[in-house]
Copies of this chain bind each other. A is one copy, B any other.
Amino acid sequence: MAFPVNQLRNDFPILSTQVHGKPLVYFDNGATTQKPRQVIDRLVQYYETENSNVHRGAHHLSNLATVSFEGARNFIAQYINAQRTEEVIFTRGTTDSINLVASSFHSFIQKGDEVLITAMEHHSNLVPWQQLCKNKEAHLCVIQVLEDGMLDMPVARKMLSPKVKILAFTHISNVLGTINPVKELVAEAHRYNIPVLIDGAQAIAHVQVDVQELDCEFYAFSAHKAYGPMGTGVLYGKSEWLNKLPPCQFGGEMIDQVSFDKTVFNKLPYKFEAGTPNVADVLGMETALRYLDTLGIKNIQQYEDGLLEHATSSLLKIPGIKIIGRAKQKTAVISFIVEGIHPYDLGTLLDQMGIAVRTGNHCAQPLVESLGLNGTIRVSFGLYNTLSEVDYFIDSLKRAINMLL
């Protein structure tokens, strides 16, 4: 069965808006995705019929909200195949999830220890570890990226040792599109009992995420990059690890008993969820993941691979274009530069033609600089993009290049 892209485009109201008088072509899905009607409706329905603080009241609305909220946790746990529902912690997003682990890890890091990351990390999976190492006089070690955009695996293996207290790396690079060999690296790390955190920000909307199969200790993602609302996301953690880590924010349901002298924290998952939870957006996230589930993530991946291939081969026909990141395993993200042209100029002209792309260092400054670049143009596809949008983009790009050269 062909992927029903024309039909499902109707689910996304924003896709029928115009930009500078041209139909919107949204190729900035790596930054954030657009939302289907179903997700928007879920927010509306919640606020119109269910809104309440959860867990706390003995009244009807509070019960509705609590049941919906915990139902969402349950579905999301199933969706990523967590072993237990309480292994799903609701956070503000990927950055928040990673910071939570890095903060809580303070008590597990000593002077001289090592934290291992890769050279392709987003700032959100770099700076929290860098600051942790700085505080603890530990070492931040960095697995290098090869010319084609893949991790240097032989070197990675050598960098693993009992000194490494945590390995944190991205499932998929937001600049290069590289799908990293997560399972393999996790298994290698486990030989030294090193816990592994995976930054799943760019993965959750594009590939199947099965945390038990990956066997990682932590997995972080944001709803807004998977067709869900802004303002929420998930930290998955193996319960043995989540039980071990101290909480780093305090207040609300995360407390079981408190006196002025002493606090007993609540059990998982509440222990890590301080303050009134963001019920509406969590329900929106559930709806978004159900939407993906209905389409089938493998169908989506296959469809997006088609967009990637078509765009890649079309781009390579344009003289002066260089694609940054040619890993064998890639998702539908293409970073490129055009010789003699500043990415920002291209981005501006493409925008005039209705096409949203991203330019700059994509919050991965060390990576982009290590490639000798001051920025790239990035197109990143979502499930609603089409081959004819890609063709329009290629034509527009040629026009822009002609104007600029």
Contact = CB atoms under 8 A, between A and B. Distances in A.
Contact of A230 (B59, B280, B348): B280
A221 to B, nearest CB: 12
A6 to B, nearest CB: 19
Q: Which of A92, A102, A119, A251 has the most CB of B within 10 A?
A: A251
Contact of A278 (B125, B231, B355): B231
B276 A230 contact: yes
Interface of A is mostly: mixed
Interface in A2-35: 13-14, 17, 19-20, 24, 26, 28, 31-32, 34-35
Q: Which of A20, A123, A276 has the most CB of B within 10 A?
A: A276
Contact of A44 (B40, B49, B280, B366): B40
A219 to B, nearest CB: 16
A280 B258 CA distance: 35
A276 B127 contact: no
Contacts of A317: none
22 contacts: A13-B49, A26-B61, A28-B52, A28-B53, A31-B52, A31-B62, A31-B276, A43-B43, A57-B356, A57-B358, A58-B347, A60-B351, A99-B248, A123-B251, A124-B251, A124-B274, A128-B250, A130-B260, A131-B250, A230-B279, A231-B232, A255-B365
Interface of A: 13-14, 17, 19-20, 24, 26, 28, 31-32, 34-35, 39-40, 43-44, 47-49, 51-53, 56-62, 92-96, 98-99, 102-103, 119, 122-128, 130-131, 140, 142, 222, 224, 229-232, 248-252, 255, 257-260, 262-263, 274-281, 344, 347-348, 350-351, 355-360, 363, 365-366, 369
